[in-house]
Amino acid sequence: MSETLESDGRAGENGAPVATEGGPTSQDVLVREGDIAGDYLERLLDILDFDGDIDLDVEAGRAIVSIDGGKDLEKLVGQRGDVLEALQELTRLAVQQSTGTRNRLMLDIAGWRSHRRSELTDLGRRTAEEVRDSGESQKMRPMTPFERKIVHDAVAGVEGVHSESEGEEPRRRVVVLPGRS
Using the predicted structure, report yes or no on whether residue 14 has a pLDDT greater than 70.
no
Confidence of residue 2 (pLDDT cuts 50, 70, 90): very low
Q: Which pLDDT score, from 0 to 100, does residue 181 have?
A: 59
Q: Beta partners for 166?
A: 173
For residue 139, what are the domain limits?
Answer: 115-178
Average pLDDT over residues 95-121: 95
Across 7-33, average pLDDT: 59
> What's the whole-model pTM score?
0.74
The reply to whether 125 and 163 lie within a common domain is yes
175 HSE (CA, 13 A, CB side): 11
Angstrom distance (rounded) from CA 175 to CA 142: 10
Residue 20 has pLDDT above 90, yes or no: no
Residues 42 and 102 in one domain: yes
Among candidate residues 85, 110, 135, the one where a domain is terminated: 110
Q: Which of 52, 81, 110 is the last residue of a domain?
A: 110
106 and 21 in a common domain: yes
CATH number of the domain bearing residue 171: 3.30.1370.50
Please tell me whether residues 25 and 85 are part of one structural domain: yes
Containing 63, the helix (H) or strand (E) segment is strand 62-68
User: Considering its fold, how many domains does the chain have in total?
Assistant: 2
- Say yes or no to pLDDT of 10 above 80: no
Q: Give the residue from 90, 110, 130 where a domain finishes.
A: 110
pLDDT in tens, 44-83: 999 999 999 999 999 989 999 999 997 789 999 998 898 9
Residue-level pLDDT at 71: 79
Angle, vertex CA 127, rays to CA 126 and CA 128, nearest 5? 90
Task: Give the pLDDT band of residue 23 (cuts 50, 70, 90).
Answer: low
pLDDT in tens, 125-181: 999 999 999 999 999 999 988 899 999 999 999 999 999 999 999 899 999 999 975
